[in-house]
Every structure is written in structure tokens, then in C-alpha cells.
Chains A and B, each alone.
Chain A
Amino acid sequence: KNEVEQSPQNLTAQEGEFITINCSYSVGISALHWLQQHPGGGIVSLFMLSSGKKKHGRLIATINIQEKHSSLHITASHPRDSAVYICAVNAGGTSYGKLTFGQGTILTVHP
């Protein structure tokens, strides 16, 4: 079993829909990251969370440390949101800054 699991693996939505991507992890962490990877391949960091909730524009990320679960929400989705969304964690202990990744969620938003 992977240390970081995402669901769903694929997600198709119509423009304007509210989207939720889930991430569960099995290790102790110091932080959780949500990353976005566009078809061109580049990776952009969206959020880094260690507790609570963060919001940036139409994106909201939440984390529940006790349940080892995080969600990424996209409100009023748009075709430009189509990308792969990747959950990653900084594991606790002496892991320094390295990231352990989920398998990614492929999001397609249709106009």
C-alpha cells in the first residue's frame, strides 16, 4: 500500500462544478503539499499545509491531522483547471525536505 493515496484517479467535470480531490496518508507528516502539473509537464506548488485550511482564489485546501486526510476543492471549475493534481507529504522524523507523492488525480473540465 502506498504511503500517500489519492482519489479519484480520474475526474471529469462540467465548467462551473464544485470539485473535490481527496488525499489520505499513512505516515506521520510535518506538512502536506498540493501540486498542479499541466499537460506541458511543469509542476506548480499550490498549497503547503500543516493544519487547518488555506484558500487561494477558487482553490481551497484542508487537512485533518488526526484522520490523516486532506482535500483540495475547486469552486466554479473552469477548463483551464484541467491538469493533474498531486498530493505530496513531508514525512516526519529525519526526512528533511523530501516529498513522498500520491499517484495524482487527472482532472478534465469541459466547457
Chain B
Amino acid sequence: QVQLVESGGGLVKPGESLSLSCAASGFTFSAYYMSWFRQAPGKGLEWISYISDTAHIVHYADSVKGRFTISRDNAQKLLSLHMNSLRADDTAVYYCAKEIPSISFFGSWGPGTLVTVSS
């Protein structure tokens, strides 16, 4: 069955960097578009980045554009999110999710990893 597992979260100081990973299994990772979402404590869901199957298309939310970079390694079945210049308002649980083919809805999600940005 489809499994997505995020890792790499933790406590960092404002201005620091952090990289998140999402290990995929149970499906042909290279055939699916993927996204990252986040949810600040007690808040709603926010989409933050999207990458096509071969990484030829990427999108970012304005809130992270220029600071975050999405990438993927299809051979390793790994989705990544590199986050620079982290701010307190980046504190959230970060989820990776697998898109239903050809429509930007997400039928499979990882359990999430918590990123806390605090001095």
C-alpha cells in the first residue's frame, strides 16, 4: 500500500536552514506529482510547494518562494524540501502528499513532521 513518511523536522533558530525528506513506497513514485503542505499549531492547512513527476514543473506559495526549494530523487523514491531563512511563522507540521493523477487533489498523505523555529 501507499506509504509516505516525512523526516527531518526539529527545532531551529530563526534564519537557519533545514531539509525535510519524504520517503515513498508502495507505488511508482516517478509517475506521480507530489506536494508539500503545512499546518501551523491550531491553524488550517496551507499548500506550500508542488513538483511534477520529472521535476520539470514546480510551484511555490508566495509565503515560501525564494526561501524553500522542492526537489525529488525518483531513483531513491525521495521527495525533499530545503528550507532557508526560516522564520517563526514557518513553525508547523509539514506533510508530503501524493497527487491523484492529472488533478491536484491529494489522496495519500504522510503523518507529518514538526518544524519549530524559535530562538
Q: Do A and B bind each other?
A: no
